A and B are shown apart, each in its own frame.
Chain A
Amino acid sequence: MTRRARLWVLTAGLLGTAALFAAACLRMPPFGGTWHPYGDRAVQAALLQRTANTVSSVNFDQRAFDTLGEESILFAAVLGTVVLLRRTSGERRVTPQPASVPPAVRRYAIAVLPLALLIGLYVVAHGQLSPGGGFQGGVVVATALHLLYVGVDYRALERVRPVGLYELADGVGEGAYVVLGAAGLLAGSAYLANILPLGTFNTLSSGGTVPLLNAAVGMEVASAVVVLLARFLAQALEIVDEKEEGRERGERRKRE
């Protein structure tokens, strides 16, 4: 198909979808309405399970099995990326040169790093009480570590970040979720059932298995993001193609 014909097909498809979607919007319940049958029931269930943050209750208690699926997609995507971005034959690893960072940036990054780490861990730990949880906190923890790359340089980041360990932690996080689910089976109930004592509403230990599943997800997400960024950073900074490297050296010699 030529580019022109393809554009026509695309336009027809987009216009058709737009018309159907707009027609559907007019028949939807109006925005901001009071009719939320699922939401109301989820809130009831969350209060019964003594979990203050309803969203966490939906994710890690009422729909915990669904979250296991989501988590497995995340795990598979990380695994695929690691396999795709490995060093192949004909590629060589070089040590990137240390870069100079303005002292103000360095001071700021080093001051913010522990604070950001702490906030990330807080967000994971308080997932059942306040907005947050394993998914959000995990990303905050992982990005906080990378302030070291912004503030100091790549080699400093590499020193505090043994990638192998994070890959292991990623697997352990995924495994812990599966095992916690199986604990429900052993206790004589259903898979991923909330079997632990529910605790006192609005305290750190409330919600039964919710904080534990949250911690497992936090561990997995944090190490997943660290591993992903590590692979992309290595690909962009460290790994060079031997053929291309030879060509570049030749060019440099010519210029000199």
Chain B
Amino acid sequence: MREALDDALVVASLLFVAAAATAAVLTRDPARQAVVLSLLGLGLALLFTVLQAPDVALSQLAVGSAVTPLMILLTVREVRRRKRRE
């Protein structure tokens, strides 16, 4: 019973991660992509938790859902600001 539940959770989070990764690649606007990447980060953290890897989930949660998208957004802002003025 418990193993069936584990398997269901693993499959559900795997499918979510696959969908989020595909969406992140297909989102061509980098600012929107940062938001999808942050969703992907959350999905990966969830997947790592159900795969019994709390250590990895913790670092993925902090890095993937906050630090990386923030840096991408700041870069987009910088690049756009320069573009607008030309």
**Chains A and B share a contact (CB less than 8 Å):** yes
Find chain A residues with CB under 8 A from B75 CB.
Answer: 232, 236
Determine whether A70 belongs to the interface, using a CB cutoff of 8 Å to chain B: no
Determine whether A110 belongs to the interface, using a CB cutoff of 8 Å to chain B: no
Contact A123 B58 (CB under 8 A): yes
Find chain A residues with CB under 8 A from B63 CB.
Answer: 139
Question: Contacts A232-B74, A247-B85 known; A55 to B55 CB distance under 8 Å?
Answer: yes
Q: Interface residue count for B (Cβ, 8 Å)?
A: 20
Find chain A residues with CB under 8 A from B57 CB.
Answer: 131
Mark interface residues in A2-25 (1 if CB within 8 Å of B CB, else 0): 000000000000000000000000
Distance in angstroms from B41 CB to nearest chain A CB is 12
Chain A, 199-233, CB within 8 A of any chain B CB: 225, 228-229, 232-233
Determine whether A241 belongs to the interface, using a CB cutoff of 8 Å to chain B: yes
Mark interface residues in A122-158 (1 if CB within 8 Å of B CB, else 0): 0100000001110110011011000000000000000
Determine whether B35 belongs to the interface, using a CB cutoff of 8 Å to chain A: no
Determine whether B18 belongs to the interface, using a CB cutoff of 8 Å to chain A: no
Question: Contacts A123-B58, A133-B55 known; A235 to B74 CB distance under 8 Å?
Answer: yes
Cα A248 to Cα B7 in complex, Å, equals 58
Q: Is the interface of B mostly helix, strand, loop or mixed?
A: helix
Distance in angstroms from B86 CB to nearest chain A CB is 8
Determine whether A66 belongs to the interface, using a CB cutoff of 8 Å to chain B: no
Q: Interface residue count for A (Cβ, 8 Å)?
A: 25
Cα A225 to Cα B82 in complex, Å, equals 25
Find chain A residues with CB under 8 A from B85 CB.
Answer: 244, 247-248
Contact B82 A244 (CB under 8 A): yes
Contact B82 A131 (CB under 8 A): no
Question: Contacts A229-B70, A248-B85 known; A132 to B55 CB distance under 8 Å?
Answer: yes
Contact A143 B67 (CB under 8 A): yes
Determine whether A49 belongs to the interface, using a CB cutoff of 8 Å to chain B: no
Determine whether A51 belongs to the interface, using a CB cutoff of 8 Å to chain B: no
Mark interface residues in A85-106 (1 if CB within 8 Å of B CB, else 0): 0000000000000000000000
Distance in angstroms from B81 CB to nearest chain A CB is 8
Cα A140 to Cα B67 in complex, Å, equals 10
Contact B74 A139 (CB under 8 A): no
Cα A131 to Cα B48 in complex, Å, equals 12
Give the A-binding residues of B (Cβ under 8 A): 7, 54-55, 57-59, 62-63, 66-67, 70-71, 74-75, 77-78, 81-82, 85-86
